[in-house]
Structure 1
Amino acid sequence: MFRQALLVFLLAMALTLPLFQGETFNYTYVRTIVIHAPAVTSSGGGVLTNITLTIAYPGIGRVYFSALPLTELDTQAAARVAAWVAASLSGVNFYDYDYFVSMEANAPVVGGPSASGLMTVGFLSLFFNTSLKPYATMTGMINPDGSIGPVGGIKEKLDAARSMGFTLFLIPYGQRYYTYPIVNETVTPFGIIRRITYATIDLVEYGRKIGVDVIEVKTAREAFQYLTGYSIACPPSGRIILPEGVVNLLNNITLKILNETSRNIDETQGSLQYISGNTLYYSYVTEILSNARAYSNNATHYLGLGLDIIANSYAFRSLVYSTYSLWLTRILSGRISVDDVVREVNDTVNSASNLFGRVNPFKLSYFSLEAYIDNLASYYDSLILFYTALNSTSLTSQLSTLAYAYVEASLLPDWMNLVSIVSGGPPVNKSVVGRQALTLYSLASTTVPYAETLASETGLSVDSLTLAGDYYSAAQQALNLNDTLALIGLSIYASAYSSLALHQMFSQGQAITADLVKTIGEEAYCLLSRTNFSSIMAQIYYEYGLEALNASSLNEALAAFSMSILYSQAVQQTGVSALGEITPFTHTPAPTTLPSTITTSIPQPSPGTYTSTTPGIPVVTALIISLIALISLVIGILLLLRGSRSTR
């Protein structure tokens, strides 16, 4: 454990060193707040950490992190997500400020992103010039879409908060009933026998017994209400009328898909006689056909109700299933080989790649650029699925994955028409777009690995996490290829599906609730309206979320709302942001009295208000520190390798 802690320190020192080489900070506006977050140490005990948060203007979106003694790297990464979400909710440009996080704890190593929800509220309080209630704190991970994600060690954190006098404790929605380990020791003549059993408690009832009001919260905006006594104002959510050209394109693609699905189903049904001797595969193909018909019928039903986007979603799935069943039947009857299918998919994916070379994306309007980005993300996804299928050893798994890749790529020529149909939005700035791409990728780099780690530790697995991992892998490929635009779309998809996966895995063993989905939908509309509906993809995904919610497809709805939020956050950083406002919020039985009225806007930095200048480190000193960091990094790697050899 000591060796791991030392390695984290050495790596962190080497990674953060460039920040100190010749940096000069000239700020005209600085605000600081100290928050107190319960945490769990590497040994599993509860501890209270003191976190000092600072925002400084003017900045360029840098997030500096300092820890004493040590934190794990995911804690540091989560601080950037907290700053990003707080800037989005408050309506300021993330890149106009620099952010400083200093964490101190009476423990050797504090790990995990569980303090990031509280960090978000802390940054919000700095932007809105409010303070946190001295008797209140929280635990919970902040997701890029502003939702509060699940964390571990909640009972230990609750106990730590109570021991320090806190009487209001916020926890992530869905984690009220908490399962924790109990270690039982029995002393025998031959030594101590330890047995671990597990108990589940109601944290709300447990909190009441020890004098703490425990409340579940879904979003950072809700947490801000309880911890400060103020609400971030948002208009009531409602429907969005998409441009007529978008709706017509959508419906034309849906009808085209349904016609092709019908042809596939008819041909497969007529070919079943050739595989009737193979009872197992005959039943299997029949089941796939049944699924294709069900999805096709649902698509037709929702199309008739005017739910155009959810109809298209069901139609897409009907085509995947019908294509899969058709290929499988042809292969089993000996009319084609798997290699024939691979060649057809390969040609289709390659043909789709040529679509993007015909357009200069940085000469498009912002709306058109967003459509281009979303299509480019779909192309990368089809490419990743194609290579995934090639590595599959199962015929059914390989064919189903190839069918998905094929359908996705084959529809891209139709979807690319969206680029020419939509227009409007803010001006396109290539440097701003590049900055957005790296920031969105950093958000995905926090949530996806964390979700995968939790899934590994808990033994839980959901399809959305597999999707998130696929999109994240594609984003890494786009980063390696320096494909900025694909990086934006893929990072948004990866973050949205990892957030969905986290909510699915920790919904108390139940499905995602409509209450949670509605709340995230309200967040999506709030951000859309405050950015003056300046993102066409945010509008489309928000409407998709509403339709999916009406169709009781809650997982789809949550993912769509998350993507809407992330697209709005991206456009917000181009300069279209509108400042947020706050109004009084009373929580009973909070022992405070709030003012009846308050003027609500974020104070704007004015030159001369505050000046803080930190001289740059001299070159000689920087070189010495660089040498020390390099030696530290080498020592850390050697220690890790030595530890690995010892283990084996």
Structure 2
Amino acid sequence: MRTRPLESAAILGLLLLAVLPPISAQSAPEWESEVSISVPAVTTAGEGVLSRLTVRVVRPGSGKVYFSADPLTQLDTQSAARTAALVACSLLGLNPNEFDFYVSMESDSMVIGGPSAGAAMTVAMVAALANLTLDGSVVMTGMVNPDGTVGPVGGIPAKLTAAAEGGAKLFLIPAGQEVVVENRVIEEPGPFWITRRVVRERVNVTELGMSLGVSVKSVMTIREAVEASTGWRIPLKEVEEVSLDPDVAAVITGWTNAYLAEYDSARREVLLNLSRLPEGPIKEYLKQKVETAKLEAEKAKELDSTGRPYSAASAAFRSAVAIDTARLVLEMALADDPTKPLLSHALELNQSIQKVESSLEATEPESSTSFEALVAAWQRLYDAMEAFEKATDLFKSGDLVSSAEWLVYANWRVRTARSWAGLCLPGGPPPDRSVILSVAATMLYEAESVVGYAASLLQDVGESSALLDHAMDRLALAKEAQQDGRHYAVIGLSAEAIAYSTLAIHGAFQTTDLRRLVDAVSKETLGRLARIMETGVRPVTALSYLEAAEVAREEGDLPSALLLYELSATYANIDVLVSLGEGAELAPPKAAPRPTQPSASPQPTQPAHEETPIWVALTISLASAAAGGAVGFILGRRSHQTDGTLDSAELDQIESCSSP
């Protein structure tokens, strides 16, 4: 008997159901954990209220963070959830790509959105990932910063009152906000109307808590908040030995010696020809350059003698850039046409960029050390290309001195890219290509999250920051590099974007003493380094930045120290991701058209009057350079004592070009 088609389909369906597992079993995660906590918020009417925050973490995942809110909240709350997931995984030494995070926030009232639940989200995620029990009598408020510190928030008195009414016994607040200033409306009745005026009052949060029966505790880091909320201290090991590997230190010392040798040669040439110039602004400018170069050279020798190889190389680098700038500007001043030596220098530089670029394209790491070196080389090459483009634009605008400064810096950046690429010392095996692709994708995702978070925070308070602008530029370059398949460049550029965004947040929202902040960040950095060094890996880039941070801290330059600690921690996190990602599979992205390369040479603009004297043109250019701050940028890291505050304008003066 023939079976009808419909019956055949039914029989086939029954057979498939018999051999296949249930759909629910297929989609169920291998592991999941969920926690809920109360978080304080402020309603649109200005009153405190407790919302319910639930965090569910599942594995396997792909690093995605899903956020829902009822009522809807602002974008920076959603950005805070992404940052919270990254920080929680970093603190626990976990790969965020192995998990997915589901965050929901519910409130009975319309609350003001913002990042103030970020720290609580992070604590909840740590609890979920580590299977910890949260103390329901503990309530906290605070932003989460990408480096694991807790940032300031508003509305603390109202939130504390709501927490007390909800039965809280301990209220955690960001360090530095023990006393806050709040606006209070005072009503004064009159014969025919009521006058309302706003007064600003200082509120001692600790005393307010005592009156409400709640203990108030300030926390600097998420690590402290986790301990207060769960009773469990996240292990934090410190590095006993933070010096670079002797073989690496020897290579970097060789860089220092080479830079100083070129400084000596260029200095003799400049001093020999400086007397040919008449007194005036150009000659004074050159004298300042010579003096700056001398001071940096002396500093390099001193640091080298005290066993600080990377810091010594950084000072020697700044010395070489300063004296080489003086040599080029002097050559321009003595030439019949100052544009000719500038154009010649630009042409040679463009050829060097293309040559190093081709070399890096053909280079693959042979060890874990050369992997780090290749990341550093690509990052510095992108710096050189960007500096070359700035020099081109300045030349076209007629600012010859600033153009010369950027060309010299670009030239030395190319040289350091070549030096890092040649750092092929023995080490552990290099990461598999699949791991490199995975780490590049993760770092780019983190950079997008952190830069977006910083941008939303600063936009909320109407702040602008050159640090954030720099981070956005790095992120844009990282995206271009990803499209072009340059994964080592993606890693380095993303790391820089993360560090600068984090610093921008600190500059805009710092409420605690800068020394205390630097101390907290340094401890977190050392903890990350200890974690990776336990695996037998001896980081190169992270330890280099750590050494430079310690030197800056000793000199009292706390803003620069903070930036260098952030860079060290970010590069240590790269090493952690590489260690955790062995065996990961990730398809390489499709190649996209390469970004436009710098033109062969800047095209000069026609002067308004051909008979304009060279001295006048260079003097005008010099004034423009001083006004634009380019001279200070090229000179490198500042060296001065810093008080206990972190001024955003001061932070924006931190240069990214102070190290090789």
Segment of structure 1 superposing worse, 198-207 or 304-313: 198-207
Residue identity opposite 2:166 in structure 1: M
Secondary structure of 2:148's partner? coil
2:416 is matched with 411
- Residue by residue over 1:489-531, the C-alpha shift from the partner in whole angstroms, topping out at 9 and shown as x without a partner, is 1111111122223224444496454533432333333433454
Distance 1:110 1:346 in 2: 56
Residue pair 1:496, 1:559 contacting (<8 A) in 2 also: yes
Give the root-mean-square deviation of aligned CA atoms. 3.7
| Superposed CA offset, 1:14-37 (max 9, x none) | xxxxxxxx9973213221001222
CA–CA distance in structure 2, aligned partners of residues 364 and 123 of structure 1? 37
Structure 1 distance, partners of 2:355, 2:172, is 51
Q: Distance in 2 between matches of 1:154 and 1:164?
A: 15
Decide whether the 8 Å contact of 2:377 with 2:416 is kept in 1: no
The residue type paired with residue 308 of structure 2 is: L
Distance in 1 of aligned mates of 2:223 and 2:506: 17
Q: Deviations over 1:430-457 (max 9, x none)?
A: 3332232222222222333443455566
Distance in 2 between residues matched to 1:388 and 1:187, nearest whole Å: 63
Greater gyration radius: 2
Closer, same or farther: CA 256–391 of 1 in aligned 2, 3 Å: same
- 1:88-125 deviation per Cα after TM superposition (whole angstroms, max 9, x unaligned): 32233323322211122345565333322222211111
Partner residue in 2 for 1:313? 314
The partner residue of 1:438 within 438, 441, 444 is 441
Q: 1:306 to 1:134 in 2, by over 3 A?
A: same
CA contact (8 A) 1:61 1:97 kept: yes
* Residue identity matched to 2:73: T
8 Å contact from structure 1 (residues 367, 535) kept in 2: yes
How far apart in 2 are the matches of 1:329 and 1:457?
47
Partner Cα separation in structure 2 for residue 389 and residue 371 of structure 1: 27
- Does 2:470 match 1:471? no
Q: Which runs of 5+ in 2 are unaligned?
A: 1-23, 583-660
1:285 shift after superposition: 4.1
Seen in structure 2, the aligned counterparts of structure 1 residues 90 and 508 have a Cα distance that, compared at 3 Å, is closer
User: What is the CA–CA distance in structure 2 between the aligned matches of 1:189 and 1:477, rounded to whole Å?
Assistant: 68
The 3 A distance-change label for structure 1 pair 139 and 531 is farther
**3-state DSSP of counterpart to 2:526:** helix
Q: 1:292/1:516 Cα in 2 relative to 1: closer, same or farther (>3 Å)?
A: farther
**Kindly tell me: are residues 347 and 308 of structure 1, through their superposed partners in 2, closer, same or farther at Cα, counting changes over 3 Å?**
same
Give 2:252's aligned amino acid. Answer: L
Conserved? CA contact 1:74–1:113, under 8 Å:
yes
Is 1:372 matched with 2:374? yes
1:301-380 alignment to 2 at 5 Å? 301-334=302-335, 337=338, 340-341=341-342, 344-345=345-346, 347-348=348-349, 350-358=351-359, 360=362, 364-380=366-382
Higher relative contact order (CA 8 A, sep 6+): 1
Residue of structure 2 equivalent to 1:557: 561
In structure 2, which of residues 92, 102, 105 is the aligned counterpart of residue 103 of structure 1? 105
User: Which consecutive unaligned segments of at least 5 residues does structure 1 have?
Assistant: 1-21, 579-648
Identity fraction in percent: 32
Change (3 A) 1:395 1:154: farther
The aligned residue for residue 70 of structure 2 is 68
In 2: Cα distance, 1:346 partner to 1:195 partner? 66
For residues 330 and 186 of structure 1, what CA distance do their matches in structure 2 show? 74
- Counterpart in the other structure of 1:423: 427
State the TM-score, normalizing by the size of structure 1: 0.74
Give, as a single letter, the amino acid of the residue that structure 2 aligns with 1:475: A
Structure 1 residue corresponding to 2:541, chosen from 537, 543, 547: 537
**Residue 376 (structure 1) shift:** 0.6
Q: Is the Cα contact below 8 Å between 1:288 and 1:322 reproduced in 2?
A: yes
CA gap 1:577/1:429 in 2 versus in 1, 3 angstroms: closer
Q: Taking structure 1 as reference, are residues 26 and 449 closer, same or farther at Cα in structure 2, changes over 3 Å only? A: closer
In the other structure, the counterpart of 2:611 is none
Residue of structure 1 in register with 2:572 after alignment? 568
CA distance 1:433–1:211, shift in 2 (3 Å): farther
Deviations 1:2-58 (A, max 9, x none): xxxxxxxxxxxxxxxxxxxx9973213221001222345678765433211111123
Distance 1:575 1:413, change over 3 A: closer
Q: Which residue of 2 aligns with 1:297?
A: 298
Secondary structure in structure 2 of the residue aligned to 1:89:
helix
Partner of 2:650: none
Structure 1 residues 117 and 532, CA, compared in 2 at 3 Å: closer, same or farther? Answer: farther
Counterpart CA distance in 2 for 1:342 and 1:38 is 62
Secondary structure of the residue that 1:145 maps to in structure 2? Answer: coil
Distance 2:177 2:340 in 1: 48
Q: Do 2:308 and 2:547's aligned partners in 1 also have CA atoms closer than 8 Å? A: no
Structure 2 CA distance for aligned equivalents of residues 353 and 577 of structure 1: 33
Distance 1:233 1:30 in 2: 23
Give the whole-Å Cα distance in 1 for the aligned partners of 2:209 and 2:576: 39
Contact 2:175-2:512 within 8 A present in 1 as well: no
Query: Letter of the aligned partner of 1:166 in structure 2?
Result: A
> Partner letter of residue 113 of structure 2?
G
1:15-414 alignment, distance < 5 Å: 25-40=27-42, 46-108=48-110, 110-176=112-178, 178-181=180-183, 203-204=205-206, 207-208=209-210, 210-273=212-275, 276-279=278-281, 281-334=282-335, 337=338, 340-341=341-342, 344-345=345-346, 347-348=348-349, 350-358=351-359, 360=362, 364-392=366-394, 397-414=402-419
Shift in CA distance, 269/93, structure 1 to aligned 2, threshold 3 Å: same
Question: Could you tell me whether the CA contact under 8 Å between 1:533 and 1:539 is conserved in 2?
Answer: no
Quick one: distance in 2 between partners of 1:294 and 1:188?
Answer: 70
Who is 1:519 aligned against? 523
CA distance in 2, matches of 1:576, 1:186: 64
Correspondent of 1:493 among 492, 496, 501: 496
SS where residue 28 of structure 2 aligns? strand
Give the deviation of 1:383 after TM superposition. 1.8
State the Cα distance separating 1:482 from its structure 2 match. 4.1
SS state at 1:166 partner: coil
TM-score (norm 2): 0.73
Q: Distance in 2 between matches of 1:196 and 1:357?
A: 64
TM-superposition CA deviations, 1:126-151 (whole Å, max 9, x none): 22221222222323333333333444
CA contact (8 A) 1:524 1:542 kept: no
Distance in 1 (alpha carbons) for counterparts of 2:44 and 2:272: 62
Kept in 2, the 8 Å contact 1:70–1:110? The answer is no
* Displacement after TM superposition at 1:227 (Å): 1.6
Q: What secondary structure sits across from 1:27 in the alignment?
A: coil
> Secondary structure of the residue that 1:30 maps to in structure 2?
strand
Q: Deviations over 1:277-322 (max 9, x none)?
A: 434x544444444333322222221111111112222222223333
Relative distance call for 1:292 and 1:211 in structure 2 (3 A) is: farther
DSSP-derived class of the 2:224 partner: helix
Q: Indicate the SS of the match to 1:231.
A: coil
Cα distance between partner residues in 1 of 2:194 and 2:354: 64
Question: What is the distance in 2 between the residues matched to 1:351 and 1:165?
Answer: 67
**Alignment partner, residue 11 of structure 1:** none
Equivalent AA in structure 2 for residue 322 of structure 1:
I
SS at match of 2:147: coil
Amino acid at match of 2:568: S
Distance 1:500 1:130 in 2: 31
- Cα distance change, pair 234–520 in 1 and its aligned pair in 2 (3 A): closer
Distance 1:403 1:444, change over 3 A: same
